């Protein structure tokens, strides 16, 4: 099992146990996405707090371990949403690769969508 598949496996196991223990079987996919998006936004707010975005405050030293923990929290909710929509690690990887290729094409002026290319 590769690393992404391992992450997907353990997140699915966690989600299944959470749903069972907390009696959350009746929550729809739409409701899950709403809840997990809100949870991810909360984690993103915690992440931004770690990197001195408040220009009106004296900056503190960035705690890279705390930043990494917030990134992992975000990943938990992201992978959980993938599961809820029926997307596995293989599909996510393929969709990522397709989109990444398109992003390169856009930057290089090779995309059907115009307006992204760099004017040199």
Q: Residue 96 has what pLDDT?
A: 98
60-69 LR contacts (CB < 8 Å, sep 24+): none
Give the model's confidence band at 117: pLDDT under 50 very low, under 70 low, under 90 confident, else very high. Answer: confident
Q: What is the rounded radius of gyration, in angstroms, for the C-alpha atoms of the chain?
A: 18
pLDDT, tens digit (0-9, with 9 covering 90-100), for 61-87: 999 999 999 999 999 999 999 999 999
CATH of 3-21+31-107, one of 1.10.150.130, 2.102.10.10, 1.10.287.1080, 1.10.1040.10: 1.10.287.1080
Across the chain, how many H-helices and E-strands are there?
Answer: 4, 0
Q: Where are the domains of the chain?
A: 3-21+31-107
What's the rounded Cα separation, in Å, for the pair 88 and 92?
6
Give the residue from 93, 74, 92, 71 showing the smallest Cα distance to 83: 92
Q: What are the residues whose beta carbons fall under 8 Å from the beta carbon of 64, sequence distance 6 or more?
A: none
Question: pTM of the predicted model, to two decimals?
Answer: 0.90
pLDDT, tens digit (0-9, with 9 covering 90-100), for 5-31: 999 999 999 999 999 999 999 999 999
């Amino acid at each position: 099992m590769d690393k992404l598949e391992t992450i997907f496996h353990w997140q699915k196991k966690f989600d299944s146990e959470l749903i069972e223990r907390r009696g959350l079987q009746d929550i729809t996919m739409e409701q899950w996405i709403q809840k997990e998006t809100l949870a991810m936004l909360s984690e993103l707010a915690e992440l931004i707090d770690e990197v001195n975005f408040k220009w009106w405050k004296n900056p503190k030293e960035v705690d890279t371990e705390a930043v990494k923990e917030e990134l992992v929290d975000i990943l938990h909710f992201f992978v959980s949403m993938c599961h809820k929509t029926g997307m596995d690690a293989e599909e996510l990887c393929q969709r990522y690769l397709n989109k990444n290729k398109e992003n390169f094409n856009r930057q290089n002026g090779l995309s059907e969508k115009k307006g992204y290319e760099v004017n040199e």
